Structure 1
Amino acid sequence: MKKVLLMIMLVFIGMVGCSKQGVSIEDIQKEGTLLIGLSGDYPPFEFYKMVDGKETLVGFDVMLGEKIAEELGVEVKFKNMDFNSLIGALQSGQVDMVISGMSPNEERLNQVDFSDFYYTGENAVLVRKEDADRYQTTEDLKDVKIGTQLGSIQTPIAQSLTTNVKELASTQSIVLELSNENVEAVILGNDIAARYAEQFDNVVVSDIKIESEEKMAVALPKESTELTEQVNKIISTLKADGTLGKMLEEAMQLAN
Protein backbone atom coordinates (compact mmCIF):
# COMPACT_ATOMS: atom_id res chain seq x y z
CA MET A 1 0.00 0.00 0.00
CA LYS A 2 2.86 2.34 0.89
CA LYS A 3 4.47 1.63 -2.48
CA VAL A 4 1.24 2.51 -4.28
CA LEU A 5 0.94 5.78 -2.34
CA LEU A 6 4.58 6.60 -3.08
CA MET A 7 4.05 6.00 -6.80
CA ILE A 8 0.95 8.23 -6.80
CA MET A 9 2.88 11.00 -5.05
CA LEU A 10 5.75 10.75 -7.55
CA VAL A 11 3.34 10.92 -10.49
CA PHE A 12 1.64 13.95 -8.92
CA ILE A 13 4.97 15.71 -8.37
CA GLY A 14 5.94 14.95 -11.95
CA MET A 15 2.67 16.40 -13.20
CA VAL A 16 3.19 19.56 -11.17
CA GLY A 17 6.70 19.90 -12.54
CA CYS A 18 5.52 19.48 -16.12
CA SER A 19 2.80 22.07 -15.70
CA LYS A 20 5.28 24.85 -14.87
CA GLN A 21 5.04 27.56 -17.48
CA GLY A 22 7.05 30.57 -18.45
CA VAL A 23 10.59 31.40 -19.47
CA SER A 24 12.64 33.87 -17.45
CA ILE A 25 15.52 36.10 -18.49
CA GLU A 26 17.66 34.18 -16.01
CA ASP A 27 16.79 30.89 -17.76
CA ILE A 28 17.95 32.28 -21.10
CA GLN A 29 21.10 33.86 -19.70
CA LYS A 30 22.05 30.61 -17.96
CA GLU A 31 21.77 28.80 -21.31
CA GLY A 32 23.64 31.62 -23.04
CA THR A 33 21.41 31.30 -26.12
CA LEU A 34 18.03 32.71 -27.12
CA LEU A 35 16.10 30.17 -29.20
CA ILE A 36 13.72 31.85 -31.64
CA GLY A 37 11.20 30.02 -33.80
CA LEU A 38 10.17 31.33 -37.21
CA SER A 39 8.99 30.25 -40.64
CA GLY A 40 11.57 31.40 -43.17
CA ASP A 41 9.27 32.02 -46.11
CA TYR A 42 7.79 35.44 -45.41
CA PRO A 43 9.86 38.19 -47.06
CA PRO A 44 10.72 40.84 -46.02
CA PHE A 45 10.19 39.53 -42.47
CA GLU A 46 12.09 36.25 -42.69
CA PHE A 47 13.47 34.50 -45.74
CA TYR A 48 16.59 32.84 -47.13
CA LYS A 49 18.95 34.72 -49.41
CA MET A 50 22.40 34.02 -50.86
CA VAL A 51 24.89 36.16 -48.94
CA ASP A 52 28.57 35.81 -49.84
CA GLY A 53 27.79 32.55 -51.59
CA LYS A 54 25.94 31.06 -48.59
CA GLU A 55 22.19 30.63 -48.12
CA THR A 56 21.44 32.83 -45.11
CA LEU A 57 18.35 33.53 -43.03
CA VAL A 58 17.67 37.28 -43.19
CA GLY A 59 14.80 39.74 -42.74
CA PHE A 60 13.09 42.15 -40.39
CA ASP A 61 12.12 39.53 -37.79
CA VAL A 62 15.63 38.10 -37.86
CA MET A 63 17.07 41.56 -37.15
CA LEU A 64 14.61 42.07 -34.29
CA GLY A 65 15.55 38.70 -32.80
CA GLU A 66 19.23 39.62 -32.99
CA LYS A 67 18.53 42.93 -31.24
CA ILE A 68 16.62 41.23 -28.42
CA ALA A 69 19.39 38.66 -27.92
CA GLU A 70 21.97 41.44 -27.89
CA GLU A 71 20.06 43.32 -25.19
CA LEU A 72 19.79 40.12 -23.12
CA GLY A 73 23.52 39.54 -23.51
CA VAL A 74 23.23 36.12 -25.16
CA GLU A 75 23.75 34.46 -28.52
CA VAL A 76 20.76 33.87 -30.81
CA LYS A 77 19.74 30.71 -32.60
CA PHE A 78 16.86 30.57 -35.08
CA LYS A 79 14.78 27.42 -35.60
CA ASN A 80 13.05 27.33 -38.97
CA MET A 81 9.78 25.35 -39.14
CA ASP A 82 6.32 25.43 -40.70
CA PHE A 83 4.33 28.42 -39.49
CA ASN A 84 1.55 26.17 -38.24
CA SER A 85 4.02 24.39 -35.92
CA LEU A 86 5.35 27.47 -34.16
CA ILE A 87 2.81 27.76 -31.31
CA GLY A 88 3.24 24.08 -30.45
CA ALA A 89 7.02 24.45 -30.46
CA LEU A 90 6.72 27.40 -28.07
CA GLN A 91 4.36 25.55 -25.74
CA SER A 92 6.59 22.46 -25.64
CA GLY A 93 9.75 24.44 -24.85
CA GLN A 94 11.50 23.86 -28.17
CA VAL A 95 11.94 27.63 -28.53
CA ASP A 96 11.98 30.56 -26.09
CA MET A 97 9.94 32.88 -28.30
CA VAL A 98 8.46 33.16 -31.78
CA ILE A 99 9.18 36.12 -34.07
CA SER A 100 7.55 35.23 -37.35
CA GLY A 101 5.11 37.88 -38.54
CA MET A 102 2.60 36.46 -36.06
CA SER A 103 -0.57 38.36 -35.17
CA PRO A 104 -2.40 37.81 -31.87
CA ASN A 105 -5.91 36.43 -32.17
CA GLU A 106 -8.30 34.91 -29.65
CA GLU A 107 -7.10 31.33 -30.15
CA ARG A 108 -3.42 32.22 -29.89
CA LEU A 109 -3.97 34.45 -26.86
CA ASN A 110 -5.38 31.43 -25.05
CA GLN A 111 -2.21 29.48 -25.81
CA VAL A 112 0.67 31.96 -25.47
CA ASP A 113 1.44 35.52 -24.42
CA PHE A 114 2.34 38.34 -26.80
CA SER A 115 4.51 41.42 -26.67
CA ASP A 116 3.41 44.86 -27.81
CA PHE A 117 3.11 45.24 -31.57
CA TYR A 118 6.38 45.80 -33.41
CA TYR A 119 4.71 46.16 -36.82
CA THR A 120 1.27 47.19 -38.04
CA GLY A 121 0.30 46.88 -41.68
CA GLU A 122 -2.61 45.99 -43.94
CA ASN A 123 -3.65 42.86 -45.77
CA ALA A 124 -3.81 42.64 -49.54
CA VAL A 125 -5.22 40.36 -52.23
CA LEU A 126 -3.08 38.95 -55.03
CA VAL A 127 -4.68 37.95 -58.32
CA ARG A 128 -3.41 37.10 -61.78
CA LYS A 129 -2.85 40.10 -64.05
CA GLU A 130 -5.47 38.88 -66.49
CA ASP A 131 -8.07 38.86 -63.67
CA ALA A 132 -7.31 42.29 -62.18
CA ASP A 133 -10.42 43.86 -63.74
CA ARG A 134 -12.54 40.86 -62.83
CA TYR A 135 -11.81 41.04 -59.09
CA GLN A 136 -12.39 44.57 -57.76
CA THR A 137 -14.24 44.08 -54.46
CA THR A 138 -14.59 41.42 -51.78
CA GLU A 139 -18.00 40.57 -53.28
CA ASP A 140 -16.19 39.45 -56.41
CA LEU A 141 -14.36 36.82 -54.34
CA LYS A 142 -17.56 35.09 -53.25
CA ASP A 143 -17.35 31.34 -53.92
CA VAL A 144 -13.96 31.55 -55.71
CA LYS A 145 -10.97 29.54 -54.48
CA ILE A 146 -8.72 31.66 -52.24
CA GLY A 147 -5.27 30.63 -51.08
CA THR A 148 -3.72 31.39 -47.67
CA GLN A 149 -0.83 30.21 -45.55
CA LEU A 150 -1.75 27.39 -43.19
CA GLY A 151 -2.38 28.69 -39.68
CA SER A 152 -2.22 32.36 -40.67
CA ILE A 153 -4.63 35.12 -39.63
CA GLN A 154 -5.48 35.50 -43.33
CA THR A 155 -7.23 32.10 -43.34
CA PRO A 156 -10.32 33.19 -41.32
CA ILE A 157 -10.47 36.35 -43.45
CA ALA A 158 -10.63 34.18 -46.57
CA GLN A 159 -13.20 31.90 -44.91
CA SER A 160 -15.43 34.92 -44.31
CA LEU A 161 -15.40 35.59 -48.06
CA THR A 162 -15.72 32.10 -49.50
CA THR A 163 -16.22 28.47 -48.52
CA ASN A 164 -13.45 27.45 -50.91
CA VAL A 165 -10.14 28.09 -49.13
CA LYS A 166 -6.88 26.31 -49.92
CA GLU A 167 -4.14 26.40 -47.27
CA LEU A 168 -0.49 25.50 -47.81
CA ALA A 169 2.44 25.58 -45.40
CA SER A 170 4.49 28.21 -47.26
CA THR A 171 3.55 31.54 -48.83
CA GLN A 172 5.78 30.75 -51.83
CA SER A 173 3.76 27.60 -52.53
CA ILE A 174 0.38 29.30 -52.33
CA VAL A 175 1.43 32.16 -54.64
CA LEU A 176 2.76 29.55 -57.07
CA GLU A 177 -0.71 27.97 -56.98
CA LEU A 178 -2.14 31.35 -57.99
CA SER A 179 0.38 31.76 -60.80
CA ASN A 180 -0.46 28.25 -62.05
CA GLU A 181 -4.23 28.95 -61.97
CA ASN A 182 -5.00 26.52 -59.14
CA VAL A 183 -6.49 29.29 -56.96
CA GLU A 184 -8.09 32.57 -58.05
CA ALA A 185 -6.74 34.85 -55.32
CA VAL A 186 -4.33 34.86 -52.38
CA ILE A 187 -4.59 36.93 -49.20
CA LEU A 188 -1.31 38.03 -47.61
CA GLY A 189 0.12 40.93 -45.66
CA ASN A 190 0.55 43.99 -47.87
CA ASP A 191 4.34 44.09 -47.77
CA ILE A 192 4.85 40.43 -48.62
CA ALA A 193 2.15 40.62 -51.30
CA ALA A 194 4.07 43.44 -52.96
CA ARG A 195 7.27 41.35 -52.93
CA TYR A 196 5.54 38.42 -54.65
CA ALA A 197 3.95 40.73 -57.24
CA GLU A 198 7.50 41.73 -58.18
CA GLN A 199 8.70 38.12 -58.23
CA PHE A 200 5.88 36.65 -60.38
CA ASP A 201 5.34 38.23 -63.79
CA ASN A 202 1.67 37.23 -64.01
CA VAL A 203 0.63 38.23 -60.46
CA VAL A 204 -0.47 41.67 -59.21
CA VAL A 205 -1.81 43.25 -56.04
CA SER A 206 -5.50 43.86 -56.69
CA ASP A 207 -7.58 46.93 -55.83
CA ILE A 208 -9.63 44.89 -53.34
CA LYS A 209 -9.64 46.43 -49.88
CA ILE A 210 -9.60 44.01 -46.96
CA GLU A 211 -11.06 45.54 -43.80
CA SER A 212 -8.37 44.24 -41.46
CA GLU A 213 -4.88 44.96 -40.25
CA GLU A 214 -1.84 42.74 -39.91
CA LYS A 215 -0.43 43.41 -36.45
CA MET A 216 2.75 41.55 -35.55
CA ALA A 217 4.00 40.76 -32.06
CA VAL A 218 6.54 38.49 -30.40
CA ALA A 219 4.94 35.32 -29.01
CA LEU A 220 6.19 34.03 -25.65
CA PRO A 221 5.26 31.17 -23.31
CA LYS A 222 2.44 31.85 -20.88
CA GLU A 223 3.54 33.46 -17.59
CA SER A 224 6.85 34.76 -19.00
CA THR A 225 6.05 38.12 -17.39
CA GLU A 226 9.57 39.44 -16.84
CA LEU A 227 10.73 38.42 -20.32
CA THR A 228 7.64 39.92 -21.97
CA GLU A 229 8.19 43.22 -20.16
CA GLN A 230 11.82 43.31 -21.29
CA VAL A 231 10.88 42.57 -24.89
CA ASN A 232 8.32 45.40 -24.72
CA LYS A 233 11.01 47.79 -23.48
CA ILE A 234 13.31 46.78 -26.34
CA ILE A 235 10.56 47.24 -28.94
CA SER A 236 9.65 50.65 -27.46
CA THR A 237 13.27 51.83 -27.62
CA LEU A 238 13.72 50.59 -31.19
CA LYS A 239 10.55 52.41 -32.24
CA ALA A 240 11.48 55.65 -30.47
CA ASP A 241 14.96 55.98 -31.97
CA GLY A 242 13.84 55.01 -35.49
CA THR A 243 15.77 51.72 -35.57
CA LEU A 244 12.69 49.61 -36.35
CA GLY A 245 11.91 51.73 -39.43
CA LYS A 246 15.49 51.44 -40.66
CA MET A 247 15.45 47.67 -40.11
CA LEU A 248 12.25 47.29 -42.15
CA GLU A 249 13.68 49.38 -44.99
CA GLU A 250 16.86 47.30 -45.00
CA ALA A 251 14.84 44.07 -45.00
CA MET A 252 12.74 45.27 -47.95
CA GLN A 253 15.91 46.11 -49.89
CA LEU A 254 17.22 42.61 -49.18
CA ALA A 255 13.92 41.13 -50.37
CA ASN A 256 14.22 43.04 -53.64
Structure 2
Amino acid sequence: MNKIIFVLLSLGAALLVSACSRSADGIGAAETHIFDKSGNRLEAVREAGKLVIGISADYAPFAFSVEEDDGAISYQGSDVELGKYIAEQLGVEAEFQEMEMEECLKAAKEGTVDLVLLGMLPEESRLAYVDFTDPYYQPGRQVFLVKKAQRNEYKELEDFAGATVAAQYGTLQAQLVTEQLSKSYMELVDTISEGIEMVNTGRADALALDAQVTDDILDEYSSLALAAAEMEYEQEGVVGGVVEREPELLEAVNQVIDEVVEDGLYLGWMDTAIRMAVSEREADSRGITSQESLPESSRASQAAGSD
Protein backbone atom coordinates (compact mmCIF):
# COMPACT_ATOMS: atom_id res chain seq x y z
CA MET A 1 0.00 0.00 0.00
CA ASN A 2 1.25 3.43 -0.80
CA LYS A 3 1.86 5.86 2.00
CA ILE A 4 0.09 8.99 0.77
CA ILE A 5 1.23 12.20 2.39
CA PHE A 6 -0.79 15.27 1.52
CA VAL A 7 1.46 18.25 1.06
CA LEU A 8 -0.52 21.45 1.40
CA LEU A 9 2.19 23.98 0.62
CA SER A 10 0.64 27.40 0.27
CA LEU A 11 1.61 29.68 -2.59
CA GLY A 12 -0.18 32.52 -0.83
CA ALA A 13 -3.68 33.79 -1.27
CA ALA A 14 -3.34 33.64 -5.05
CA LEU A 15 -3.42 29.85 -5.02
CA LEU A 16 -6.02 29.22 -2.34
CA VAL A 17 -8.92 27.22 -3.75
CA SER A 18 -12.37 28.45 -2.78
CA ALA A 19 -15.43 26.26 -2.65
CA CYS A 20 -17.39 29.33 -3.70
CA SER A 21 -17.14 30.62 -7.24
CA ARG A 22 -15.15 33.73 -8.07
CA SER A 23 -14.62 35.66 -11.26
CA ALA A 24 -11.45 37.35 -12.45
CA ASP A 25 -9.58 38.74 -15.45
CA GLY A 26 -11.68 41.89 -15.46
CA ILE A 27 -14.90 40.09 -16.29
CA GLY A 28 -16.72 41.40 -13.23
CA ALA A 29 -18.45 39.96 -10.21
CA ALA A 30 -19.94 36.49 -10.29
CA GLU A 31 -23.58 36.36 -11.27
CA THR A 32 -26.21 33.66 -11.25
CA HIS A 33 -26.15 32.22 -14.73
CA ILE A 34 -29.02 29.76 -15.07
CA PHE A 35 -30.79 29.38 -18.40
CA ASP A 36 -34.03 27.64 -19.13
CA LYS A 37 -32.84 24.14 -20.00
CA SER A 38 -35.66 23.75 -22.48
CA GLY A 39 -34.09 26.47 -24.64
CA ASN A 40 -31.01 26.61 -26.83
CA ARG A 41 -27.95 27.18 -24.64
CA LEU A 42 -25.78 28.38 -27.50
CA GLU A 43 -28.30 31.08 -28.40
CA ALA A 44 -28.59 32.05 -24.73
CA VAL A 45 -24.80 32.37 -24.44
CA ARG A 46 -24.69 34.66 -27.45
CA GLU A 47 -27.58 36.74 -26.15
CA ALA A 48 -25.87 37.09 -22.77
CA GLY A 49 -22.61 38.02 -24.50
CA LYS A 50 -20.54 35.72 -22.29
CA LEU A 51 -19.47 32.11 -21.92
CA VAL A 52 -19.22 31.14 -18.25
CA ILE A 53 -16.39 28.65 -17.75
CA GLY A 54 -15.67 26.67 -14.60
CA ILE A 55 -11.99 26.10 -13.78
CA SER A 56 -10.01 24.83 -10.80
CA ALA A 57 -7.10 27.22 -10.44
CA ASP A 58 -4.85 24.90 -8.44
CA TYR A 59 -3.88 22.74 -11.39
CA ALA A 60 -0.89 24.22 -13.23
CA PRO A 61 -0.19 24.23 -16.10
CA PHE A 62 -3.88 23.81 -16.99
CA ALA A 63 -5.11 26.60 -14.69
CA PHE A 64 -3.52 28.57 -11.87
CA SER A 65 -3.81 31.94 -10.18
CA VAL A 66 -1.34 34.80 -10.32
CA GLU A 67 -1.29 37.82 -8.04
CA GLU A 68 -0.46 40.90 -10.07
CA ASP A 69 1.57 43.89 -8.88
CA ASP A 70 -1.61 45.75 -7.87
CA GLY A 71 -2.87 42.81 -5.82
CA ALA A 72 -5.47 41.73 -8.38
CA ILE A 73 -5.84 38.02 -9.11
CA SER A 74 -5.72 36.76 -12.68
CA TYR A 75 -6.12 33.24 -14.02
CA GLN A 76 -3.46 31.76 -16.27
CA GLY A 77 -2.85 28.40 -17.90
CA SER A 78 -3.49 26.39 -21.04
CA ASP A 79 -7.15 25.71 -20.17
CA VAL A 80 -7.68 29.42 -19.50
CA GLU A 81 -6.30 30.26 -22.94
CA LEU A 82 -8.50 27.58 -24.49
CA GLY A 83 -11.55 29.03 -22.75
CA LYS A 84 -10.74 32.53 -23.98
CA TYR A 85 -10.27 31.24 -27.52
CA ILE A 86 -13.55 29.30 -27.52
CA ALA A 87 -15.42 32.37 -26.27
CA GLU A 88 -13.75 34.56 -28.88
CA GLN A 89 -14.74 32.19 -31.68
CA LEU A 90 -18.33 32.20 -30.40
CA GLY A 91 -18.30 35.99 -30.46
CA VAL A 92 -18.67 36.47 -26.69
CA GLU A 93 -16.57 37.26 -23.62
CA ALA A 94 -15.10 34.57 -21.37
CA GLU A 95 -16.07 34.68 -17.69
CA PHE A 96 -14.16 32.30 -15.45
CA GLN A 97 -15.67 30.92 -12.27
CA GLU A 98 -13.01 29.34 -10.06
CA MET A 99 -13.91 26.54 -7.66
CA GLU A 100 -12.90 23.03 -6.71
CA MET A 101 -13.25 20.38 -9.38
CA GLU A 102 -16.26 18.68 -7.81
CA GLU A 103 -17.98 22.05 -7.42
CA CYS A 104 -17.32 22.83 -11.09
CA LEU A 105 -19.04 19.64 -12.16
CA LYS A 106 -22.00 20.35 -9.88
CA ALA A 107 -22.24 23.87 -11.29
CA ALA A 108 -22.45 22.44 -14.82
CA LYS A 109 -25.15 20.05 -13.67
CA GLU A 110 -27.11 22.94 -12.16
CA GLY A 111 -26.56 25.11 -15.22
CA THR A 112 -24.66 27.93 -13.49
CA VAL A 113 -21.70 27.48 -15.86
CA ASP A 114 -21.78 26.67 -19.57
CA LEU A 115 -18.48 24.82 -19.86
CA VAL A 116 -15.88 23.31 -17.53
CA LEU A 117 -12.19 23.06 -18.42
CA LEU A 118 -10.46 21.07 -15.71
CA GLY A 119 -7.68 19.15 -17.44
CA MET A 120 -9.89 16.12 -16.85
CA LEU A 121 -9.96 12.63 -18.28
CA PRO A 122 -13.27 11.26 -19.61
CA GLU A 123 -14.18 9.10 -16.63
CA GLU A 124 -17.63 7.56 -17.00
CA SER A 125 -18.81 8.84 -13.61
CA ARG A 126 -18.44 12.43 -14.84
CA LEU A 127 -21.07 11.87 -17.53
CA ALA A 128 -23.63 12.27 -14.75
CA TYR A 129 -22.71 15.97 -14.72
CA VAL A 130 -21.59 17.00 -18.22
CA ASP A 131 -21.36 15.94 -21.84
CA PHE A 132 -17.73 15.50 -22.87
CA THR A 133 -16.15 17.59 -25.59
CA ASP A 134 -13.72 16.16 -28.09
CA PRO A 135 -10.22 15.64 -26.60
CA TYR A 136 -8.02 18.72 -26.77
CA TYR A 137 -4.85 17.38 -25.18
CA GLN A 138 -3.29 13.94 -25.47
CA PRO A 139 -1.07 12.98 -22.53
CA GLY A 140 2.35 11.76 -23.56
CA ARG A 141 4.73 9.28 -21.99
CA GLN A 142 4.49 9.13 -18.21
CA VAL A 143 7.97 9.81 -16.88
CA PHE A 144 9.96 10.69 -13.77
CA LEU A 145 12.00 13.82 -13.15
CA VAL A 146 15.03 13.06 -10.97
CA LYS A 147 18.39 14.59 -10.12
CA LYS A 148 20.73 14.17 -13.06
CA ALA A 149 23.33 12.43 -10.90
CA GLN A 150 20.76 9.76 -9.97
CA ARG A 151 19.02 9.15 -13.29
CA ASN A 152 20.77 5.81 -13.88
CA GLU A 153 19.49 4.50 -10.54
CA TYR A 154 15.93 4.24 -11.90
CA LYS A 155 15.89 1.98 -14.95
CA GLU A 156 12.83 -0.06 -13.97
CA LEU A 157 9.74 0.74 -11.93
CA GLU A 158 10.98 -1.69 -9.28
CA ASP A 159 13.93 0.62 -8.68
CA PHE A 160 11.58 3.11 -7.01
CA ALA A 161 10.93 0.72 -4.11
CA GLY A 162 11.38 2.73 -0.91
CA ALA A 163 11.73 6.00 -2.85
CA THR A 164 9.61 9.10 -2.31
CA VAL A 165 7.79 10.04 -5.51
CA ALA A 166 5.97 13.36 -5.78
CA ALA A 167 2.86 13.72 -7.93
CA GLN A 168 0.37 16.52 -8.37
CA TYR A 169 -2.85 16.00 -6.45
CA GLY A 170 -5.79 14.73 -8.52
CA THR A 171 -3.76 14.01 -11.67
CA LEU A 172 -3.27 11.02 -13.91
CA GLN A 173 0.29 10.79 -12.59
CA ALA A 174 -0.92 10.41 -9.00
CA GLN A 175 -3.26 7.64 -10.10
CA LEU A 176 -0.50 5.80 -11.99
CA VAL A 177 1.97 6.08 -9.10
CA THR A 178 -0.67 4.59 -6.79
CA GLU A 179 -1.30 1.71 -9.17
CA GLN A 180 2.22 0.94 -10.39
CA LEU A 181 4.62 1.94 -7.59
CA SER A 182 3.13 0.07 -4.67
CA LYS A 183 6.45 -0.10 -2.81
CA SER A 184 7.23 3.60 -3.03
CA TYR A 185 6.00 6.53 -0.95
CA MET A 186 3.87 9.04 -2.81
CA GLU A 187 3.86 12.65 -1.70
CA LEU A 188 1.05 14.72 -3.17
CA VAL A 189 1.74 18.34 -4.10
CA ASP A 190 -0.51 21.16 -5.26
CA THR A 191 1.60 22.23 -8.25
CA ILE A 192 4.31 20.91 -10.54
CA SER A 193 6.59 23.68 -9.28
CA GLU A 194 6.33 22.36 -5.73
CA GLY A 195 7.30 18.91 -6.94
CA ILE A 196 10.31 20.30 -8.80
CA GLU A 197 11.45 22.08 -5.66
CA MET A 198 11.11 18.88 -3.63
CA VAL A 199 13.32 16.95 -6.05
CA ASN A 200 15.83 19.80 -6.19
CA THR A 201 16.10 19.96 -2.41
CA GLY A 202 16.18 16.20 -1.88
CA ARG A 203 12.79 15.98 -0.14
CA ALA A 204 11.58 13.72 -2.96
CA ASP A 205 13.52 11.30 -5.14
CA ALA A 206 11.37 11.82 -8.22
CA LEU A 207 8.45 13.77 -9.65
CA ALA A 208 5.96 11.95 -11.88
CA LEU A 209 5.13 13.99 -14.99
CA ASP A 210 3.72 13.93 -18.48
CA ALA A 211 6.73 13.93 -20.83
CA GLN A 212 5.16 16.67 -22.95
CA VAL A 213 5.64 19.23 -20.17
CA THR A 214 9.27 18.46 -19.35
CA ASP A 215 11.27 20.28 -22.06
CA ASP A 216 11.06 23.74 -20.49
CA ILE A 217 11.62 22.32 -17.02
CA LEU A 218 14.83 20.62 -18.14
CA ASP A 219 15.95 23.84 -19.85
CA GLU A 220 15.36 25.74 -16.61
CA TYR A 221 16.93 23.19 -14.25
CA SER A 222 20.22 21.79 -15.54
CA SER A 223 20.59 19.65 -12.40
CA LEU A 224 17.53 17.55 -13.30
CA ALA A 225 16.98 14.79 -15.87
CA LEU A 226 14.48 12.11 -16.86
CA ALA A 227 14.85 8.62 -15.44
CA ALA A 228 14.92 5.71 -17.88
CA ALA A 229 11.92 4.09 -16.17
CA GLU A 230 8.45 5.07 -17.36
CA MET A 231 4.94 4.20 -16.23
CA GLU A 232 2.59 2.26 -18.47
CA TYR A 233 -0.43 4.13 -19.74
CA GLU A 234 -3.03 3.63 -22.47
CA GLN A 235 -3.75 7.12 -23.69
CA GLU A 236 -7.05 8.87 -23.09
CA GLY A 237 -7.38 12.45 -24.20
CA VAL A 238 -8.11 15.34 -21.85
CA VAL A 239 -11.64 16.68 -22.42
CA GLY A 240 -13.87 19.55 -21.39
CA GLY A 241 -17.44 19.30 -20.19
CA VAL A 242 -20.50 21.10 -21.57
CA VAL A 243 -23.89 21.42 -19.88
CA GLU A 244 -25.84 18.22 -20.54
CA ARG A 245 -28.17 17.81 -23.49
CA GLU A 246 -27.13 20.98 -25.28
CA PRO A 247 -26.05 19.61 -28.68
CA GLU A 248 -25.76 23.01 -30.39
CA LEU A 249 -23.35 24.35 -27.78
CA LEU A 250 -21.40 21.09 -27.71
CA GLU A 251 -21.04 21.08 -31.50
CA ALA A 252 -19.89 24.71 -31.54
CA VAL A 253 -17.30 24.08 -28.81
CA ASN A 254 -16.06 20.94 -30.57
CA GLN A 255 -15.59 22.83 -33.84
CA VAL A 256 -13.28 25.26 -32.06
CA ILE A 257 -11.44 22.46 -30.24
CA ASP A 258 -10.85 20.62 -33.50
CA GLU A 259 -9.28 23.78 -34.94
CA VAL A 260 -7.14 24.26 -31.82
CA VAL A 261 -5.83 20.70 -32.00
CA GLU A 262 -5.21 20.78 -35.75
CA ASP A 263 -3.27 24.05 -35.53
CA GLY A 264 -1.24 22.97 -32.49
CA LEU A 265 -2.45 25.95 -30.47
CA TYR A 266 -3.01 24.08 -27.23
CA LEU A 267 0.54 22.74 -27.01
CA GLY A 268 1.81 26.30 -27.45
CA TRP A 269 -0.44 27.54 -24.64
CA MET A 270 0.75 24.72 -22.40
CA ASP A 271 4.39 25.50 -23.12
CA THR A 272 3.84 29.14 -22.12
CA ALA A 273 1.89 28.13 -19.01
CA ILE A 274 4.64 25.80 -17.81
CA ARG A 275 7.26 28.51 -18.13
CA MET A 276 5.02 31.01 -16.34
CA ALA A 277 4.22 28.59 -13.51
CA VAL A 278 7.90 27.80 -12.99
CA SER A 279 8.78 31.52 -13.06
CA GLU A 280 6.02 32.29 -10.56
CA ARG A 281 7.34 29.66 -8.17
CA GLU A 282 10.88 30.98 -8.46
CA ALA A 283 9.65 34.56 -7.98
CA ASP A 284 7.60 33.57 -4.95
CA SER A 285 10.63 31.99 -3.31
CA ARG A 286 12.66 35.18 -3.89
CA GLY A 287 9.88 37.59 -2.94
CA ILE A 288 9.68 39.43 -6.26
CA THR A 289 6.61 40.50 -8.23
CA SER A 290 4.93 38.54 -10.99
CA GLN A 291 6.02 41.05 -13.64
CA GLU A 292 9.64 40.89 -12.48
CA SER A 293 9.52 37.10 -12.65
CA LEU A 294 8.74 37.03 -16.36
CA PRO A 295 11.53 36.72 -18.93
CA GLU A 296 12.51 40.10 -20.38
CA SER A 297 11.01 39.22 -23.77
CA SER A 298 7.66 38.39 -22.15
CA ARG A 299 7.62 41.64 -20.16
CA ALA A 300 8.37 43.62 -23.31
CA SER A 301 5.61 41.79 -25.18
CA GLN A 302 3.07 42.53 -22.44
CA ALA A 303 4.11 46.19 -22.33
CA ALA A 304 3.69 46.49 -26.09
CA GLY A 305 0.26 44.88 -25.90
CA SER A 306 -0.92 47.35 -23.26
CA ASP A 307 -0.23 50.42 -25.38
1:126 aligns with one of 131, 134, 145: 145
Which SS does the other structure have where 2:208 is aligned? strand
CA distance in 2, matches of 1:207, 1:82: 35
- The superposition leaves residues 50-91 of structure 1 with CA deviations (integer Å, 9 ceiling, x where unpaired) of 999998544433332122112222101223455576435544
2:245 corresponding residue in structure 1: 223
- The superposition leaves residues 77-121 of structure 1 with CA deviations (integer Å, 9 ceiling, x where unpaired) of 223455576435544555322224322224434443211111213
The alpha-carbon distance between structure 1 residues 126 and 177, as it changes in their structure 2 partners (threshold 3 A), is same
In the alignment, is the contact (CA less than 8 A) between 1:149 and 1:169 conserved in 2? Answer: yes
In the alignment, is the contact (CA less than 8 A) between 2:145 and 2:224 conserved in 1? Answer: yes
1:77 aligns with one of 75, 95, 114: 95
Which SS does the other structure have where 1:133 is aligned? helix
In the alignment, is the contact (CA less than 8 A) between 2:133 and 2:254 conserved in 1? Answer: yes
Q: Can you give the 5+ residue segments of structure 1 that lack an aligned partner in the other structure?
A: 1-16
In the alignment, is the contact (CA less than 8 A) between 1:21 and 1:223 conserved in 2? Answer: no
Which SS does the other structure have where 1:77 is aligned? strand
Alignment pair present for 1:25 and 2:46:
no
In the alignment, is the contact (CA less than 8 A) between 2:213 and 2:274 conserved in 1? Answer: no
Displacement of 1:165 after TM fit? 2.2
Alignment pair present for 1:183 and 2:200:
no
The aligned amino acid for 1:175 is I
The aligned amino acid for 2:218 is A
1:4 corresponding residue in structure 2: none
Alignment pair present for 1:236 and 2:258:
yes
CA distance in 1, matches of 2:58, 2:40: 24
Select between 231-240 and 133-142 the one with higher mean Cα deviation. Answer: 231-240
Which SS does the other structure have where 1:183 is aligned? coil
In the alignment, is the contact (CA less than 8 A) between 1:21 and 1:224 conserved in 2? Answer: no
1:9 corresponding residue in structure 2: none
CA distance in 1, matches of 2:127, 2:247: 14
2:194 aligns with one of 136, 153, 173: 173
CA distance in 1, matches of 2:193, 2:203: 14
The alpha-carbon distance between structure 1 residues 249 and 220, as it changes in their structure 2 partners (threshold 3 A), is same
Query: Under a length normalisation based on structure 2, what TM-score does the superposition of the two structures give?
Result: 0.62
The aligned amino acid for 1:78 is F
2:180 corresponding residue in structure 1: 161
The alpha-carbon distance between structure 1 residues 237 and 201, as it changes in their structure 2 partners (threshold 3 A), is closer
The aligned amino acid for 1:155 is A
Query: Under a length normalisation based on structure 1, what TM-score does the superposition of the two structures give?
Result: 0.73
The alpha-carbon distance between structure 1 residues 112 and 202, as it changes in their structure 2 partners (threshold 3 A), is farther
In the alignment, is the contact (CA less than 8 A) between 1:23 and 1:96 conserved in 2? Answer: no
Displacement of 1:250 after TM fit? 5.7
CA distance in 2, matches of 1:146, 1:94: 38
Same amino acid, percent of matched pairs: 27
The alpha-carbon distance between structure 1 residues 113 and 181, as it changes in their structure 2 partners (threshold 3 A), is farther
Q: Can you give the 5+ residue segments of structure 2 that lack an aligned partner in the other structure?
A: 1-33, 276-307
CA distance in 2, matches of 1:150, 1:86: 17
Which SS does the other structure have where 1:121 is aligned? coil
CA distance in 1, matches of 2:202, 2:265: 37
Q: In the comparison of the two structures, how many residue pairs are matched?
A: 234
Which SS does the other structure have where 1:119 is aligned? coil
1:139 corresponding residue in structure 2: 158
Pairing 1:101-120 to 2, within 5 Å after superposition: 101-120=119-138
1:12 corresponding residue in structure 2: none
The alpha-carbon distance between structure 1 residues 113 and 148, as it changes in their structure 2 partners (threshold 3 A), is farther
Over the aligned positions, Cα root-mean-square deviation in angstroms equals 3.5
